[in-house]
Amino acid sequence: MTSTIEIIPEEWISTTGTLQDNVAGILDCRKNPLPVPYAVKMSVEDFRYHGGPRWCELPPRHLLLPILVDTEEDKIVMHDGLAEKWRADIRIGPNVTYPDVALPYRHVLWRPTPLLEDIFQILEENTQPDKRSVIDLGCGSGRDCVYLAMRGWFTVGIDIVPKTCTRAQEFASRHHVTEQTEFHTVDIAELEYPENSFDLVIVARTYVPRSLWDKVFSLIAPGGYLLWHHFLDGCNHPTGEKLLKKGELREKFDSVVDIVIDEEKELAAPDNRPCSHFLCRKR
C-alpha cells in the first residue's frame, strides 16, 4: 500500500519556509513530482548500486538526508543504498505539496570543503575578478573546483585516478561549468605548471609527500593563497607519514607567507577526526 504525505515534514522545512539547520536540502527521487522547495532531483537508479556516480552530490553525512520516493520498493532501494552511511529519512510522497510556492526550487545538496566555504569571502575580497584561478591537488569528485567555478573562478582539478577525473568532469557538466573547469589525470609529483601559475592552491584531504611541498608552494602566484585542509596526528585513518603534525604547516611556510587561518580542530561528529584548517597568503 502507498501512503502519502501532503506537506513537507516540519523536521525538514520549518513552517516559515526555511530549511532546518541539520538539513542541507531534499533528495527528490520521484518520477513525475510536483516541485518541492530546496529539492534536488535524482533517480532511484542513481543509487541502486553501491558506488554510484552521484554520491558526491549528497550532503555531508552528519546532516539529515530527507528523501522522497514513489513506492515502497524504491524506499527499500534507497534504504539499502544509503541508510548505512547517511542519516536518511525516506518518505513515500507522490502528493507532496508546499503552500508557499515562492520558496527556492534550485538547490544543491553537496558542500565543498568546509574551510573553503568559510573563507570564500576572504578570497573574493582580496583577489581581482581577472585573477581567480585555482588548482585543486587531488580533486576527487571535483566539489571544490565546481564550487569555485560556479562563482566565476577558472579551476583546474588534478587527480591520480582516471575514473575520478571522469566523474569530476560529469559533476562539472551537471552544474553547467565545463567551460570554467579542467580536470587532468596526473600525479602531483609529475605536475608541469610553471611557477606562480595560480591565485589559489587547494590541498583538501590529499596526502602530499613532504618532498613536494616546495613544488606545491611554487605554483602560487605572489599574493595568492594556499588552502590546506588535512588530517592531523591522532587520526586512525589515514595514519603515519600521511598525517600532518601539529604546527607543521606554520613552521614550514611561516617565513614566506602571511598566515590567515591556522586552526586545528575536529571534523563534525560523528567523524571527529582532528584536522588542520590552514589558509595563508604568499608574500
Query: Using CB under 6 A as the criterion, which residues of the chain lie in contact with ligand SAM when the complex forms?
Result: 113, 138-141, 143, 158-161, 164, 187-188, 204-207
Closer Cβ to ligand SAM, 77 or 156, answer by number: 156
Report in angstroms how near the CB of residue 207 gets to ligand SAM at its nearest: 6
Closer Cβ to ligand SAM, 26 or 158, answer by number: 158
Closer Cβ to ligand SAM, 68 or 146, answer by number: 146
C-alpha cell of 239? 595514519
Report in angstroms how near the CB of residue 62 gets to ligand SAM at its nearest: 15
Report in angstroms how near the CB of residue 181 gets to ligand SAM at its nearest: 14
Report in angstroms how near the CB of residue 63 gets to ligand SAM at its nearest: 16
Residue with cell 592531523: 232
By DSSP bridging, strand 198-204 and strand 257-266 are unpaired
Label each residue of 139-202 as H, E or C.
Answer: CCCCHHHHHHHCCCCEEEEEECCHHHHHHHHHHHHHCCCHHHEEEEECCHHHCCCCCCCEEEEE
Closer Cβ to ligand SAM, 34 or 268, answer by number: 268
- 257-266, strands of its sheet edge to edge: 181-185, 154-159, 133-137, 198-204, 220-231, 274-282, 257-266
- 154 contact partners, CB below 8 Å, separation of at least 6: 132, 133, 134, 180
C-alpha cell of 190? 609529475
Question: Cβ distance 257 to 281 under 8 Å?
Answer: yes
| Distance of alpha carbon 157 from alpha carbon 155, whole angstroms | 7
Residue with cell 569528485: 141
| Distance of alpha carbon 83 from alpha carbon 115, whole angstroms | 27
Report in angstroms how near the CB of residue 176 gets to ligand SAM at its nearest: 20
Report in angstroms how near the CB of residue 69 gets to ligand SAM at its nearest: 27
Closer Cβ to ligand SAM, 93 or 140, answer by number: 140
Report in angstroms how near the CB of residue 143 gets to ligand SAM at its nearest: 5
Closer Cβ to ligand SAM, 114 or 223, answer by number: 114
Closer Cβ to ligand SAM, 92 or 139, answer by number: 139
**225 Ramachandran zone, left/alpha/beta (phi>0; psi -120 to 50):** beta
